[in-house]
């Protein structure tokens, strides 16, 4: 198994990435090779300093870095020697089985959409976020910002992609799918939600349980929550801000602690043909470790093959 990791991405790169690798290798015992993209002169000594076993990684020298605020498409085109561009190139040619970066989110999305292919039959890839449920379980919300405007058919596909992710990665056997909406009854909502409801209802590949409202996001009604990326992004950022508020208000609570993104690490891009994970810019070692574990899980569970099968039969 070969996993690609951008060592230059994120506000605390490459140090926190190296520390994350150390944490990851302490728990992961199966054979693995990490392809580490970045400045060789910088990475070599640092990896030695942190005693990362030499047989666990290969440094791929990438002399360029895409900054956090660079224009994604332009940067990817002009900086072909950047860690993100080279990371995707290595993924596309099959040398690696997954690619992870906490760098420029836009460049990661552009790379995921154009360097590797979408799964055949998928109209648009999507990005999802983990939702800590109040009952202790974990839900999935998608799309959270890649597709600000959607068609009903896309939301129906997000439901399938999200259900497979929930089953094989989150371990939810028969994930319940809810449509994010403004009311419980069929027929409620805006034009998009009204048109999406019957598609979800008739989709035999998922367990549709109906509409869920804003108040149900952290509740038991649905495991996989589907919406266009405008609403999803606002829910995601609002929830993050609630966590920040609890921190500022010095609220000590184990449930709210689960809102800390470090505990899950990164956002998978779903609907593309290989595992791609995008990390938060402020990722620390724990987030990098969790993204590496997630990549392993996505590869070991054969999630991508299951998604491909699902779209060839639909």
Q: Which of 72, 121, 219, 281 binds a copy of itself (CB under 8 A)?
A: 219
240 in contact with a copy of itself (CB under 8 A): yes
In contact, 98 and 279? CB cutoff 8 Å: no
142 in contact with a copy of itself (CB under 8 A): no
210 in contact with a copy of itself (CB under 8 A): no
First to last CA, the chain: 30
CA dihedral (155, 147, 5, 273) in degrees, to 10, reads 50
187 in contact with a copy of itself (CB under 8 A): no
Residue 100's region, left for phi above 0, alpha for psi from -120 to 50, else beta, is beta
Please identify, among the stretches 35-43, 45-53, 253-261, 306-314, the one whose residues bind a copy of itself according to the rule CB under 8 A. 253-261
Distance CA 251, CA 243 (A): 10
Is the CB of 70 or the CB of 228 nearer to a copy of itself? Answer: 228
Q: Which of 40, 213, 257, 262 binds a copy of itself (CB under 8 A)?
A: 213
Residues 29-88 that bind a copy of itself (CB under 8 A): none
156 in contact with a copy of itself (CB under 8 A): no
191 in contact with a copy of itself (CB under 8 A): yes
Distance CA 199, CA 141 (A): 18
Distance CA 181, CA 192 (A): 10
**Residue 283 to residues 130, 144, 169: CA-CA distances in angstroms?**
16, 19, 21
Q: Which of 94, 215, 305, 313 binds a copy of itself (CB under 8 A)?
A: 215
In contact, 179 and 226? CB cutoff 8 Å: yes
235 in contact with a copy of itself (CB under 8 A): yes
231 in contact with a copy of itself (CB under 8 A): yes
313 in contact with a copy of itself (CB under 8 A): no
245 in contact with a copy of itself (CB under 8 A): yes
CB atoms within 10 A of CB 310: 18
Of 246, 243, 289, 299, give the one whose Cα is nearest residue 266: 289
Q: Which of 40, 78, 186, 216 binds a copy of itself (CB under 8 A)?
A: 216
Q: Which residues bind a copy of itself (CB under 8 A)?
A: 134, 145, 148-149, 180, 182, 189-191, 193, 213-219, 228-231, 233-242, 244-246, 248-249, 251, 253, 255-256
């Amino acid at each position: 198994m070969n996993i690609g990791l951008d060592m230059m991405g994120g506000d605390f790169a490459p140090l926190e990435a190296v520390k994350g690798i150390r944490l990851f290798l302490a728990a992961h015992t199966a054979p693995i090779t990490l392809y580490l993209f970045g400045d060789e002169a910088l990475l070599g000594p640092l990896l030695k300093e942190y005693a990362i076993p030499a047989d666990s990684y290969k440094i791929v020298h990438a002399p360029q870095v895409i900054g956090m605020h660079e224009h994604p498409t332009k940067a990817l085109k002009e900086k072909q020697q950047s860690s993100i561009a080279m990371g995707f190139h290595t993924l596309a040619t099959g040398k690696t089985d997954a690619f992870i970066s906490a760098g420029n989110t836009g460049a990661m999305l552009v790379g995921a959409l154009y360097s590797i292919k979408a799964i055949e039959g998928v109209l648009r890839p999507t990005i999802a976020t983990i939702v800590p449920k109040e009952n202790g379980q974990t839900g999935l919300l998608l799309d959270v910002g890649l597709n600000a405007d959607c068609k009903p058919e896309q939301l129906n596909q997000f439901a399938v992609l999200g259900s497979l992710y929930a089953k094989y990665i989150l371990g939810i056997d028969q994930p319940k799918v809810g449509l994010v909406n403004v009311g419980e009854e069929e027929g409620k909502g805006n034009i998009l939600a009204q048109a999406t409801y019957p598609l979800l209802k008739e989709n035999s590949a998922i367990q549709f349980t109906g509409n869920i409202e804003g108040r149900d996001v952290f509740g038991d009604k649905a495991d996989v929550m589907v919406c266009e990326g405008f609403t999803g992004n606002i829910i995601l950022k609002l929830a993050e801000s609630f966590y920040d508020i609890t921190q500022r208000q010095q609220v000590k609570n184990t449930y709210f602690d689960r809102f800390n993104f470090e505990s899950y690490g990164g956002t998978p891009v779903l609907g593309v043909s290989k595992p791609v994970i995008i990390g938060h810019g402020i990722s620390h070692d724990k987030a990098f470790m969790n993204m590496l574990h997630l990549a392993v899980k996505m590869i070991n569970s054969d999630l991508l093959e299951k998604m491909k099968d699902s779209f060839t039969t639909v």
